[in-house]
Each structure stands twice: as C-alpha cells, then as structure tokens.
Structure 1
Amino acid sequence: MASCSNVKGKKSWPEVVGTSSQAAATIIERQNENVEAVVVEEGSSVSTDVRCDRVRIFVDDNNIVKEVPKVG
C-alpha cells in the first residue's frame, strides 16, 4: 500500500469532526495548500487509490463531518 509520509504540511484534521463540510474544507485547504478537500457522503463508494494531494471529508445527511479527514 502506498504511503503519504513524504507529504509536506499537516496530514490529519481531528479538530474538524462535528463541523460542517464547508468549514472543514476551508480549514484543511488553508492549513495544507498541497491538498484538495473532497466531500463524500458517509457510506458512499470511493476508489481505493491513495492520492497524497487529496483529503476526503466524510459527512452525514446533515453535512456534518463524521470521521477524521486525512491525506490519502
């Protein structure tokens, strides 16, 4: 499995769990300009590829972050 250990900047955002996806995306992209935040509805199918320029934000039906977003 590929690793993103060589990525510069912050790699995990536990502080955004419980916030809105919009707020989380803004925080993530401000704190690490090397990544793009992508909002995904909880339970959706996603690819298994590891991309070190992507952070998935898993949200519930109310658009609230449910898992710690991280690079990969």
Structure 2
Amino acid sequence: MAEKDGQRSTNRPLESPNEGLPRCYNQLVGSNNPKKTSWPELVGTTSEEAKKKIKEEMSEADIQVIPPGYFVTADFRSQRVRIYVDQSDKVIRTPIIG
C-alpha cells in the first residue's frame, strides 16, 4: 500500500456495508415499486384467464397469445408479454416480459 505523509491509505467501500444489493432492476434505477416480469403461476390456466391476470398486474401490457407451431421474433419489448398455449388453449410456458 502506498503511504502518504506517514499514514497508510485505505480503500473504503463506495457504499455503506449494511446496504444490501438491489433485488431487481427497478430497485437499481430507483423505483420503490418493483414491476413483476413473469407469471409462473399461470401455467396450466387458459389464455383468457392468463390475459386477465396479467392485465390486472400490468395494465400497459401488450399481450400476445402464441399457438403451437407459430414462430415469433427474437426482439425484446418491455411492454410485451407472450402467452404460449397448447391445442387446448392451456398456458404451457411461463409468460414473461419481452
């Protein structure tokens, strides 16, 4: 370690030691109300039930129901939630934002 005027310099942490890490991206950018990004509890429900639940929790969501065998783009959209369903209209994958 380098010494300055007979004193040792110490590296101090930039944040307080008792402060925990952010739990989600919204905490990192300063929001006190973290937004839900996935709905695993909807797997096995119908697409209509899933759409209703997602709209309750994220009213601005652009919801897309994806039937079996359909192709989708790989781009990310922060307001889009895709609901993948099987032939009987049951949700088969966790709906997530993207």
TM-score, length basis structure 1: 0.84
Indicate which of 44, 53, 62 corresponds to 1:18: 44
Aligned to 2:63: 37
Task: Give identity over the alignment, percent.
Answer: 39
Q: Letter of the 1:65 partner, please give it.
A: V
Give the secondary-structure state (helix, strand or coil) at the position aligned to 2:95: coil
- Tell me, in whole angstroms, the C-alpha distance in 2 between the residues paired with 1:50 and 1:69: 14
In the TM superposition, what is the alpha-carbon distance from 1:25 to its structure 2 partner?
Answer: 0.5
* Bigger relative CO (Cα 8 Å, ≥ 6 apart): 1
Listed as ranges, the gaps of 5+ residues in structure 1 are: none
Q: How does 1:3-14 map to 2 (within 5 A)?
A: 5-6=25-26, 9-14=35-40
Q: Letter of the 2:92 partner, please give it.
A: K
Aligned to 2:53: 27
Encode CA deviations 1:45-69: one digit per residue, 9 max, x unaligned.
0011100110000000000000000
Give the secondary-structure state (helix, strand or coil) at the position aligned to 1:30: helix
Q: Which moved more, 1:35-44 or 1:60-69?
A: 35-44
Give the secondary-structure state (helix, strand or coil) at the position aligned to 1:34: coil
Q: Letter of the 1:47 partner, please give it.
A: T
In the TM superposition, what is the alpha-carbon distance from 1:34 to its structure 2 partner?
Answer: 2.9
TM-score, length basis structure 2: 0.63
| Two-structure CA RMSD over aligned residues (Å) | 1.3
In the TM superposition, what is the alpha-carbon distance from 1:43 to its structure 2 partner?
Answer: 2.7
Give the secondary-structure state (helix, strand or coil) at the position aligned to 1:55: strand
4+ residue runs of structure 1 moved beyond 6 angstroms? Answer: none
